[in-house]
Structure 1
């Protein structure tokens, strides 16, 4: 049996209001365009989540809201406040508590970039992978039977994309 993770950094957020709390920042125009592009790409490649777990920030939730219509809105979605600005270790704990597969996890840098790199058995030499820009998406597979068995270094790269790559 294998498990599949779809790891997505939130889409580009707005900095229009400097007094706005970081947790409450919405997506900007570029982010509102990027999220459905990634959703279409995932659907077209057959990467449709059975479970979604997201940070509670406005920008991660809005990213999912713009992807969901393309990926099946009946997907179970869980909001996890611990994913807001979470380090890689906390993200792994969250993944270890998931039940279904594929799981789509939405989070933030710098934790998500470190998490992506440490999950894989070999770091890929792909443009922009190390920086994991906004709305970057990694699909990884684990030849394991349960999410509780996932550890750093046990994943295999299946796909990686950024919105700029989809723009051609």
Structure 2
């Protein structure tokens, strides 16, 4: 079995109409929620008894800021190097491309955290988790997978090269609003 964490970048800024999409930074809400979600990811991972063997991220500014702030929120000392595999293919990737990237992973990796963008990440969940009514979490994502959301899938495969549609169980979903309990997002 392999474990895939999916972390959508936090809320980004649209204020500069001349900025390239790739260069858009996080807005104030994104800057606030990325560290909080990082803390949640860290606490959840510790409860599960594992660390992420690999963190891979889109190099877009908003994704890079998200994972860097999440690392701070997880309690990594400031300036500590988080080993992130920056992969340009994750930038605005389709589910098909994301599956191809997963299939190329080293077989020694058991737990991988992927940081990227919608609609690709959401579609990846839809492709990997069967649509047979057995996953209330999948149904939640069908309603909304907002920015800074974190999902975990357990893949029923021995090797990453075996990743295919319908191979996953959806085991965890946390959105900023789930942590907020009435706090404005």
Taking structure 2 as the reference length, what is the TM-score of the superposition? 0.83
Equivalent positions of 1:1-168 (< 5 A) are: 2-46=1-45, 48-69=51-72, 70=74, 76-99=83-106, 100-122=109-131, 124-126=135-137, 128-130=140-142, 131-168=144-181
- CA shift, 1:111, in A, is 1.3
Q: What root-mean-square deviation, in Å, do the aligned CA atoms of Structure 1 and Structure 2 show?
A: 1.9
- Once residues 75 and 104 of structure 2 are traced to their aligned partners in structure 1, the CA distance between those partners, rounded to angstroms, is 22
Give the secondary structure class of the aligned counterpart of 1:106.
strand
- CA shift, 1:121, in A, is 2.9
Give the secondary structure class of the aligned counterpart of 2:148.
coil
Give the secondary structure class of the aligned counterpart of 2:22.
helix
Contact 1:49 1:75 (C-alpha < 8 Å) held by counterparts: no
- CA shift, 1:138, in A, is 0.8
Count of aligned positions: 167
Query: Which protein is bigger by CA-based radius of gyration?
Result: 2
Give the secondary structure class of the aligned counterpart of 2:165.
coil
Contact 1:50 1:76 (C-alpha < 8 Å) held by counterparts: no
- Once residues 93 and 141 of structure 1 are traced to their aligned partners in structure 2, the CA distance between those partners, rounded to angstroms, is 17
CA-to-aligned-CA distance 1:103-128 (integer Å, 9 cap, x gap): 01011111111111111134633475
* Of 36-45 and 55-64, the range deviating more from structure 2: 36-45
Residues 10 and 145 (structure 1), Cα distance of their counterparts in 2 relative to 1, 3 Å cut:
same
* Of 111-120 and 47-56, the range deviating more from structure 2: 47-56
